[in-house]
Amino acid sequence: MTQIEASGLSTGYYGKQILHDINFSIDKPGIYVVLGKNGAGKTTFFRTVTGILKLYSGTLAIDGLDPYSHPEAREKCVYLSHQAGVPESLSVSEIMDLFALLLGADEYGKQNAVKLLELDSLMEKPYYSLSQGQKKRVSLAKCLLSDRSIYLFDEPTTNLDPVVATQVRKEILGISENRIVLYSSHNLYEAREIGNQVLIISNGSIAYNGDIDKVQIGKYVIGIRADNVADVFPEAKLQGRYYILELDSPDDVSKVIQKLSVAKVRVQEIREMSNPLEDLLR
């Protein structure tokens, strides 16, 4: 089984240290959620594991080899980053053909990725004309062409509608049965839904590494400044100028806005009152 191991790892950009004294070891298949607020260092962590960034100090090894110095270690990884890394002028069909050729995927693998991410209707469209959600689906599809030992997905469900996001998580769960998957998120609820193990990064350091079930989670609370909120959400309690509403996840905010809009409630402000991830990292 492939192993990733880091000891005293520190790295960053242009001499500025972002990650500090990172220590971890992974040697079993499964989904390891890399959880943290935006700007915590999750993307830097992924770029380091894949050999894009050089270490300032410490060690990092994939099966005993430093990925920055050894291409054979980097080739064990496939990485979905925030940047698509595809020629904007190509059509989706041309992009899939190109990456199938580069990654050695057969026709079955290509068609399976196209079907999973529902790209059939987009195949002849140029990449630059796609929405952000559609572009994310193309990026995910090209990652799924590869059969590697380690998959790194940097917030893979961002900009996806709930149905496609659920399908993507299901596919990633399948991949994780016999491979290592690192899955970054800033959503504590999504982390609990998809992973068993979690690495929580805070201010460039690992704040927690272990069983996600041991991480205590509270409710996500928002405040709504508007009239007649209680007519739509009877459970909302008025505190000062805000109606306080407890949600299961930040993803539910859009549903709240939709219900208020349908009821023609004029909303002046919606603000976050309590975020379990913020509370956890205090």
The sign of the torsion formed by the CA atoms of 35, 40, 42, 48 equals negative
Lowest pLDDT segment from 25-29, 46-50, 56-60, 253-257: 253-257
Which of the four pLDDT bands, split at 50, 70 and 90, describes residue 196? confident
Q: Is the pLDDT of residue 201 over 70?
A: yes
Q: Which residue has the higher pLDDT, 169 or 160?
A: 169
Residue 153 has what pLDDT? 94
Q: What is the pLDDT of residues 107-164, one digit of tens each?
A: 988 998 898 888 999 999 999 999 888 888 898 898 888 788 999 999 888 777 777 7
Tokens of 70: 């050894």
Q: Is the pLDDT of residue 280 over 80?
A: no
User: Are 106 and 179 contacting, i.e. CB atoms less than 8 angstroms apart?
Assistant: no
| Distant-in-sequence, close-in-space partners of 103: CB < 8 Å, separation ≥ 6 | 142, 145, 146
Which of the four pLDDT bands, split at 50, 70 and 90, describes residue 255? confident
Q: Are strands 242-247 and 180-185 parallel, antiparallel or unpaired?
A: unpaired
Please choose, from the candidates 78, 128, 119, the residue with its C-alpha nearest in 3D space to the C-alpha of residue 97: 119
User: Are 33 and 184 contacting, i.e. CB atoms less than 8 angstroms apart?
Assistant: yes
CA distances from 91 to 9, 22, 107, 118 (A): 40, 41, 17, 15
Q: Is the pLDDT of residue 276 over 70?
A: no
Share of residues in the chain with pLDDT > 90 (%): 54
CA distances from 24 to 7, 19, 60, 129, 274 (A): 7, 13, 9, 41, 30
Q: What is the mean pLDDT of residues 210-232?
A: 85
